[in-house]
A = this chain, B = another copy of it.
Amino acid sequence: MAYRSTERVKARLSASRERIIVAALGIMAEHGYAGCSVAAVAERAGVATGSVYRHFPTKADLFAEVFRTASQREVDAVARAAALETSAAEQMAAVVETFSGRALQSPRLAYALLAEPVDPAVDAERLVFRRAYAELIAGYVAAGVASGELPPQDPELTATALVGALAEAMVGPLAAGVAGPETIPALIAFIHRALGVSP
C-alpha cells in the first residue's frame, strides 16, 4: 500500500471541483446555458473533458449544483437586503429592487437561471430556486398579516404568485437588455397593491 490520498491531494481535488463550477457559471453568465458544453467548461476550468466526470456523475448533476449555487447566492442577497427593513411593504420593496437590480446587472445569467431552456433535470432545480424565493416572501407576508399591516391572505399563495409576477415582469427587460427606469417603481406599486398594503 504505497499510495493513499493525502490532504494536499484532497485540497487539489476540491479546488478542481470548484474551478469547474466557477467555469460553468462563467460560461453561463457569458453565453448562457446553450454555450455550456462539457468540453467548454472543462477547457475553461483548465482540466480535460473526462476529468469533469471525476467530480460529477453527469452533466445534469454538475449543472444542478451550478444552479443551486447561483440561486442560493441570489436568494441570500435578496434576503440580506430585505432583512434591513422592518415593514412588509419595505421588505418587499427591497426584494424587488435587489432582485431586479442584480438581474439587470447580469442579464445573461439571470435569463439562464430564470427562463432559458435547459435540460429537464436542471429545470427541476429551478423549482427549488423559485420555491426558495417564495418561502422567503411568504415569511414576510405572514409576519405582515400577523401584525395587521396586511389583510388576511394565504401567504404561500401570495408569495408564489408574486414570484411569478416578478419573474415574468423581468423576462421582457432581460431580453431587451434594459428596463425603463419607471419599471421597478411600477412593479413595487403593483406588488404593494397585491399585498394589500394600505396607501
Residues of chain A whose beta carbon lies under 8 Å from any beta carbon of chain B: 34, 116-120, 123, 127, 130, 151, 153-154, 157-158, 160-169, 171-172, 182-183, 186-187, 189-190, 193-196
Contacts and interface: CB of A to CB of B under 8 A. Distances in A.
A91 to B, nearest CB: 17
A190 B159 CA distance: 10
A163 B171 CA distance: 12
Contact of A168 (B151, B167, B195): B167
B118 A157 contact: no
Copies of this chain: 2
Nearest to A154: B186
Contacts of A189: 153
A151 B199 CA distance: 12
9 A-B pairs closest in CB distance? A164-B168, A194-B194, A161-B165, A164-B164, A165-B165, A164-B165, A161-B169, A117-B123, A157-B186
Contacts of A182: 154
A157 B130 contact: no
A28 to B, nearest CB: 15
Contacts of A167: 164, 168
A163 B158 CA distance: 14
A109 to B, nearest CB: 17
Contacts of A187: 157, 161
B196 A169 contact: no
B164 A160 contact: no
Nearest to A151: B193
Given A153-B190, A161-B190, A164-B164, 13 more contacts: A34-B120, A117-B119, A127-B171, A130-B168, A153-B186, A154-B182, A160-B172, A163-B168, A164-B169, A165-B168, A168-B168, A193-B193, A193-B195
